[in-house]
């Protein structure tokens, strides 16, 4: 028998308030793991993108939202950072706060 099946079966023999508490803690743990997974996928997407190589970009994830911060060398790179995140599984909203820093001549 799987551990998850044993937890469900043992929850059937508990008062309703305890079952809800067990379910809530499962949801919190699942959401924390899901957010960590999203941050890892976003980090991998940014670090492996050839247009963003060598750039120091920061990002934050909250649920399915990603906020990008940092500087890039062109508007093209700013757009590419956003487009690479659009393809990451779990990203539903992107706030692109990247600043374009033009090269000085």
Domains of the chain: 3-100 (3.30.1340.30)
Average pLDDT on 81-100 reads 95
Model confidence pLDDT, tens digit, residues 60-76: 999 999 999 999 999 99
pLDDT at 84 over 50: yes
DSSP state of 48: T
pLDDT bucket at 104, cuts 50 / 70 / 90:
low
Residue 85 has pLDDT above 70, yes or no: yes
Q: Tell me, what's the pLDDT at 105?
A: 58
Q: Does this model's pTM top 0.75?
A: no
CA distance linking residue 31 with residue 47, whole number of Å: 24
Alpha-carbon distance of 84 to 69, in angstroms, equals 15
């Amino acid at each position: 028998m799987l551990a998850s099946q044993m937890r469900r079966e043992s929850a059937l023999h508990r008062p309703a308030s305890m079952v809800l508490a067990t379910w809530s803690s499962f949801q919190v743990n699942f959401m924390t793991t899901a957010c960590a997974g999203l941050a890892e996928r976003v980090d991998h997407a940014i670090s492996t993108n050839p247009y963003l190589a060598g750039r120091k970009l920061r990002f934050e994830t909250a649920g399915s939202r990603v906020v990008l911060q940092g500087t890039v060398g062109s508007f093209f790179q700013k757009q590419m950072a956003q487009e690479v995140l659009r393809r990451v599984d779990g990203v539903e909203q992107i706030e692109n706060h990247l600043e374009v820093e033009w090269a000085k001549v």
